Amino acid sequence: MSEMIRVTLPDGSAREVVRGTTAAEIAADIGAGLAKAALAAKVNGELRDIMRPLEADTNLALVTSRDEADALELVRHDYAHVLAEAVQNLFPGTQITFGPSTNDGFYYDFAPTAEHGPFRDEELPLIEEEMRRIIAADLPLTREVWERDALIAKWQADGETFKAEWAAELPQGEELTVYRSGEGWMDMCRGPHLASTGKLDPAAFKLTRVSGAYWRGDQKNAQLSRIYGTGWLNKKQLAEHLVRLEEAAKRDHRRLGQEMDLFHLQQEAHGSVFWHPNGFRVWRELEAYMRRAIDGAGYQEVKTPQVMDARQWEQSGHWGKYRENMFVIPDEVPNTEDEGPIVSDAAEWMALKPMNCPAHVLIFRQGMKSYRDLPLRLYENGCCHRNEPHGALHGLMRVRQFTQDDAHIFCREDQIVEEVRNFCALADRIYKDFGFTYAIKLALRPEKRFGSEEMWDKSEDELRNAVVEAGLATEQYGWEELPGEGAFYAPKLEWHLTDAIGRTWQVGTIQSDRVLPDRLDASYIGEDGERHRPVMLHRAIFGSYERFIGILIEHFAGRFPTWLAPVQAVVATIVSDADDYAKDALDQLVAAGIRADSDLRNEKINYKVREHSLAKVPHLLVVGKREAEEGTVAIRTLGQDGQRVMPLAEAIAMLKTEATPPDLRD
C-alpha cells in the first residue's frame, strides 16, 4: 500500500496524497486553470520546482505570475540557462561558468574559445534568435542529483574545467544537483526552475550588452565574457522596462557630468574623482546644507587621520573581516636603490581607513566620560578608501575614494530608541528637501557575526521599536525586515530612496553597535560610579557625497533645483549695445548672493540658449537694447516654453528666493 502524506494549502484545507506526488499534480487536481498558471511551488516556505516530488507532510503554496517577485526570480534564472545553452549551441567549445538572476534580468559568464575570442554586442541578435528557438521547443527542465566524483568526471570529460573546479570545491555532504534541458544540455544548479522552457515568454526578454569579467571576480583568474540580459513575465513588462532604460540613459550621471562640466575620471587615479569647479560648487552646497543640519541636531564635527596602524584595525575586527578591501601601506622608508625589494620583510603595516568608526571611538576614549556627557554625537565629513576591483567601479556610484557624511552617537542603553527616532526625523526632513520618497528596511543578523544572540535580540528590538514609535513601520514607508542582511557587528535600518523614474537607491543607514565599543574598550562612568559600555550608533544620510551627487544628477536629469545648481543664472546679450547693462545686471545678481555668469559673446541668442540649456542652467536672463533702456530682463527658465519679461529688481528677488536652500526658507 502506498504511503500517504498530508498537504496543507494556504486556505487551511488539507489533502491526503501519495508520497511522491508533485505540486503540478495537485494543481491539476484543483483545476485546469491553476495547472496552466502554476509556475513553481513553495514547500514549507521554500521555493521549489513544481515537478519535484513531495516526500513528507507539507505546507504547500502554488506560485503563479501574480506572485511577481518569486515568478520573476524563476523566469530570469531560466532565461540565464537558456542563454547558456544557446551560446554553446552556436559556439561549440565555449565553457560555461555561472549565470545568476539580477534585479532586472540576468547574466551569464562564458569562457569563449581562443579562436573566437570575447563575445561582441553584434552577436547578441543571433543568440536571441537561438534562445527563442529553445523556448519554442518547450524542452522539459528536469532536476537530477549526482554523486560528486561522477559529476566532476562528467565536467572534465566535456571540457568544462570551470564547472569541474567548482564542483570539487563544494562542501562535502552537499547535494549536487544539475538541471537538464531536454535530453542533452545540462548545467550545475541548485534551482528551482520552471517545468519547461516553453513556460517562458519568447517576447519578454532582450540581451543588452557584453562586458568582461573574471572567474570568481578575481583579477588574477581567467578573463571571461559576460552577457547581460533583461527578462520579464510578459512583453508589456519588457516594453515598460526598455522605456525606463532609455530614460535612465538620458539621465546617466557620467554623460551629464561631462556635458555640465562637473567632474571627470581617468586611469591615473582609478576610482577617484576629479571635481571641476561646477561640480565642487554642488559639493559645497551639500556640505553646507549638511553642516547646518547636524549643527542643529546637536552633533560636534571632528576630523580623523587617513592612515592608521594595522593593529588598530585588528583590534576593531576589520582586519580579519575587511582586509581585502583595504589599501595597505608599509610603515617604513622604501628602498631607493635599483637592487632589492622596495619594502623589507620587517615592515610594519598601516592602512588607509575604509571607514571612520574606529577613529571616532579613539576620540571618545580621550578623557573620562560620565553618563551626563551622553549622548555624544561625533560627525565627520570623512574621506575613506576602499580597494574595489577595477571592473566594479562605476562613475560616482562606486568609487575607491569617497567622503561620507558619517557620524557616531555614543549613548546609554536608555537613550537608544530616542536617538534613533530623532535620526529618523532628521533623515525624513532631509530626503524630503531633495524631493525623494523612501522606504525603510530593517537588516537583521547575518550568518557570520560578532556578539551574543541576546545582544542581537536587544539591538534589533531597539531599532524596530524606534521606527514603530516614529510612525514609519507602515506600508506607506515600505517597512520590511531583511533576514541576514545586517553588518557583521550590528543590525541596521536602511533608507531606500525612490527617484524620479522609479528606481530605488539604498542610501541612509543607522546601526546599533555593541561590538566595537567592547573591542576598543570604550566606557563611561555610570550614575552608580561603575564603568559601562556605551552603545555606538553608526549613521549616515547621504551615504557618500560622491554617490549622492550621482543619484541627484540622475534624479533631476541634471536640472538641479536653483539652490543647488552650480550656475543659477546667466545674463546673455542679444546685441553688443546691451553689454554694459548685462555687466551691471551680473554685478547685482552676484551682490544678491546668486551664482551667476554672463555671456557677451558675438553669437546668435538661439545658440546661447541651446548651449546654456545643455549645461542645465536654471535661468537665462536675455537682454537686448530694449531691456537695457527699460531696466528689464527676459527670463527663460529651463524646461519651460516661452519667456517672462520683468524688471531686473523683480527678477533678482525671484531668483534670490529660489536660490535659498530649503532649510533656510521661512
Helices 579-591 and 648-658 sit at what angle, rounded to 10 degrees? Answer: 40
Q: Which of 381, 321, 330, 334 is nearest to 351 (CA)?
A: 330
* 50 neighbors 22 (Cβ within 8 angstroms): yes
List Cβ neighbours of 110 (8 Å cut-off, separation of 6 or more).
84, 87, 94, 95, 96, 97, 119, 224, 225, 226, 227
Q: Which residue has the cell 564547472?
A: 163
Helix (H) or strand (E) holding 290: helix 277-296
Q: Which residue has the cell 538541471?
A: 179
34 in the Ramachandran plot: left (φ > 0), alpha (ψ -120 to 50) or beta?
alpha
Which residue spans within 64-191 are E strands per DSSP? 95-96, 105-111, 141-146, 176-181, 186-188
Q: Which of 456, 25, 389 is nearest to 215 (CA)?
A: 389
**From CA 572, how far away is CA 17, in angstroms rounded?**
81
Q: Which amino acid is at 19?
A: R
**From CA 232, how far away is CA 71, in angstroms rounded?**
9
Q: Which of 31, 6, 32 is nearest to 17 (CA)?
A: 6
**From CA 90, how far away is CA 539, in angstroms rounded?**
51
Helix (H, G, I), strand (E, B) or coil at 262: coil
* 412 neighbors 371 (Cβ within 8 angstroms): yes
List Cβ neighbours of 239 (8 Å cut-off, separation of 6 or more).
none
Neighbours of 366 (CB within 10 A): 7
List Cβ neighbours of 49 (8 Å cut-off, separation of 6 or more).
40, 41, 141, 143, 191, 192, 193, 194, 195
List Cβ neighbours of 228 (8 Å cut-off, separation of 6 or more).
105, 106, 107, 207, 208, 209, 210, 211
Q: Which amino acid is at 570?
A: V
Helix (H) or strand (E) holding 351: strand 349-352
Q: Which amino acid is at 493?
A: L
List Cβ neighbours of 290 (8 Å cut-off, separation of 6 or more).
381, 405, 430, 541, 542
Q: Which residue has the cell 564542483?
A: 167
DSSP string across 294-317: HHHTT-EE----SEEEHHHHHHHT
Pull the grid cell for residue 642.
Answer: 516661452
From residue 618, how far is each of 324, 594, 652 by CA, in Å? 44, 12, 14
Neighbours of 394 (CB within 10 A): 14
Report, as residue numbers or ranges, the catalytic residues. Answer: 357, 386, 404, 406, 408, 492, 538
Q: Which amino acid is at 13?
A: S
Pull the grid cell for residue 247.
Answer: 530614460
Q: Which residue has the cell 535612465?
A: 248
**From CA 412, how far away is CA 512, in angstroms rounded?**
12
**From CA 3, how far away is CA 465, in angstroms rounded?**
48
* 99 neighbors 85 (Cβ within 8 angstroms): no
